[in-house]
Structure 1
Amino acid sequence: MDRLTADMNMGSNLRLLRKKHKYTQDRLVARLGIFGVSTTRSLYSRYETGELNIPVRLLVALHMIYGCSYDAFFEGLELENTDTL
């Protein structure tokens, strides 16, 4: 079975994309509200640090805000094989 390596998370990609597009967390959270995603700066911060799993509706809204491919959120994530033969 494959699983994501523990040291990689989407949160760092969220942070990189936010900074690339020159958003503060507060400004981004306000913009997410326009797309119907209700969150707080504190909660969004926990997505970026990897403390919380990222809801799909958040990824869809960020995809529309940034105009990026969904691949950008998963960049650098690798699967490791956990099968034992």
Structure 2
Amino acid sequence: MQWILHDIPIGRNIQNIRVRKNMTQLELVTKMQLMGSNMSRSTLANIETGRRNVKASDLKALKIILDVGYEEFFED
């Protein structure tokens, strides 16, 4: 039996939600830093392009700031 793994584009979903909410990367990162995250704009860019994974604590902050449910991050 062969399994084919299909990754969910979490980074692209984060980017789409951010753009839909009319936020720049810098605006989002600034709000995250106010919540205690040490994410930089370049880190966010790398997450959005799939070059870096997002930490669970940062995903929680993104959920709050972007005012979305977790399921929106995991849409395929």
Q: Considering the TM-score relative to the shorter chain, is it more than 0.5?
A: yes
What is the aligned-residue identity percentage?
Answer: 31
Structure (1 or 2) with the larger CA radius of gyration: 1
How far apart are 1:66 and its partner, in Å? 1.4
Q: 2:18: which partner in 1? A: 18
Runs of 4+ in structure 1 deviating by more than 2 angstroms, as ranges, are 1-4
Q: Which has the higher contact order (CA 8 A, sep 6+)?
A: 1
Stretches of structure 1 that go unaligned for 5 or more consecutive residues are 77-85
How far apart are 1:2 and its partner, in Å? 6.0
Q: Which amino acid aligns with 1:73?
A: F
What is the rounded CA distance, in whole Å, between the counterparts of 1:14 and 1:57 in structure 2?
14
Task: Note the 1:1-85 alignment, pairs <5 A.
Answer: 4-6=5-7, 8-76=8-76
Report how many residues are paired: 75
Query: What's the CA shift string for 1:36-55, capped at 9, x where partnerless?
Result: 11111111100000001110
TM-score (norm 1): 0.80
What is the rounded CA distance, in whole Å, between the counterparts of 2:26 and 2:40 in structure 1?
8
Structure with the higher fraction of residues in strand conformation: 1
Stretches of structure 2 that go unaligned for 5 or more consecutive residues are none
